[in-house]
Structure 1
Amino acid sequence: MTEQLITGVLPALITPLDKDGNVKTELAQPLVDMYVKQQADGLYMLGWTGEGEHLSVEKRKQWAAAVLAAAKDKLPVFVHVGYNRNLDDSIELAAHAAEHGAYAVSSVGISEEASLEDNVAYFKRIAAAAPNVPFYIYWVAMGKTLTGGTEIDPPALLEALKEVPTFRGIKFTDNNFYILERFKKYRPDLNILTGADQLAICSQYMGSDGNIGALQAVTCYHFKVMMEKINEGKYDEARELQYRANDVNEAYSRAAVGALPGIKLLLEKVFGIPAGYCSPTGPYAGIAHSEADGGDGAAELVELFRKNILVNE
């Protein structure tokens, strides 16, 4: 099993769809090549940004296979396999990801109703399906999706996860970085990649190894420079870069644009990738970048992005 500690900036990858909800697999290579140019350290696919929850198993497999082929020998790819009511689907997706060369597989907990024991049993099944691939839990909501809706101390969770032989890290989408620091204290070898995009600078101070997020889908190089500034001790400059990225996050999150349509709009207008529509069964059902482009705030979003965000030309 690969034991490399992943660091840096890992954009959360969108899933490009046509108007009928079909996956535009031909965009896998252009997207991977763009992220290589923007100096990404890896990709995380089929999470929230990739609309994994709103795609069929077959479509998720189609997109994973295309991206993994395009990224081979270029970028490590994390494939999220969760969100399934039928847990057998997660196991199938994990085996498929491993077969096609994923660096790692990842999953949210089953639900806030599922106990820690239920989740550990589920994670062990994922590990068995992908025995030579690192497994990362997707931590959200103070870990309540892992523990039946209650909070849990990091040492207790780490003790329970000893039963999962491939457990190597956490996608930590939370803003309580005390918890992150405790994970690192008790498991210094644990690979922790944070998903609180607007607080990425804070997470690095508290010991994260890198960042995974939707905001980085369009600000990858900008975040790379920000992290370099931190490492150089240029904290004022790093903080200014975080603030500028947050302005873009605020602009595309407004209802008139929408976070995911806004990201797809920027991929088209700035990076020349026609990311298409959002999932017809998701919260942005059927919205295309072209429709966001005609809405209030879209032109301002593109202008704001060009003014504030560093892009590797």
Structure 2
Amino acid sequence: MARRGKKPKGRPVNGWIVLDKPKGMGSTDAVGKLKWLYFAQKAGHAGTLDPLASGMLPIALGDATKTVPFVMDGRKAYRFSVRWGAETTTDDTEGPVVKSSDERPTRDAIEALLPNYVGEITQVPPAFSAIKIAGERAYDLAREGETVEIAARTVEVLRLDIVDQPDADTTVFEAECGKGTYVRAIARDLGRDLGCYGHVTDLRRTSVGAFSEDDMVPLDELLAAADEGLEVLDEEAIAAGAKPRVVDFKPLDEYIIAPEAALADLYEVMLTDEQASRVLAGNPVILRGRDAPVFCEEAFATGHGRLIALGAIEEGAFKPKRVFGGKG
């Protein structure tokens, strides 16, 4: 006799929460917190943000987790402060100083070097990073005192600008970069090239993929929304030590962004109800109309008022590869 699959625990809630992560909270902890708040069946994040950093951490709930790679591959923007005169083991304020200098760079000297850090550049990620070495995270090996050798890699920096220089010790930058770029490494390498050393003292991520600062919501605001939906306990339950739970998720759900928001750079196929039903069953559909593309490597389909599938367009037909809410 075939065993029935175990019913997933939680609500089948689907979409994105673009969290404004506070300093001191790890990315995994943030995902766990939101999964608990929303009582979601599944949750995941699109790109780790260091505990010492604040700002954008897109968190996918339910079927939106299938769109995570498209967000992770997108451009990211950061605002960060560099303190000159010291290099640390972690390239931020967490590690001890390993090199120091009394030299301080002028704004002109810094700006003269910035073109070297824009475009495709070669970068060695920080020893304290999530890079895997022989299956182990680099930061775990570094914390255990092992010498971490990380190979240089090519990354893309689209923009690097000075936005403020409040004093001789500090310069504030904004950067827009591609996947895998470490701004801590930019600060470290700039400091070495300037002959004064440097490390990041403040880091905030302001955009990821299709999401902008306007999409971000602070954790405190989500906690307040959860409080609005708490059940009201009677005196007997309170006396027994019962804790209220969220019974009305409407205030929280107002912050959910549709899963397809992560796919803004892909071609959208808008399906009729009949076509949507076919795609949900895993079948391809012929695209009609003068402007319908014949080929598209990556596309998504919407129908029934929601995201239906990810797939490709081949020979004028949309062929689903990942279906949302249907078979597979």
Q: TM-score, normalised by structure 1?
A: 0.23
Larger Rg: 2
Instruction: Determine which structure has the larger strand proportion and give its number.
Output: 2
Instruction: Determine which structure has the larger helix proportion and give its number.
Output: 1
Q: TM-score, normalised by structure 2?
A: 0.23
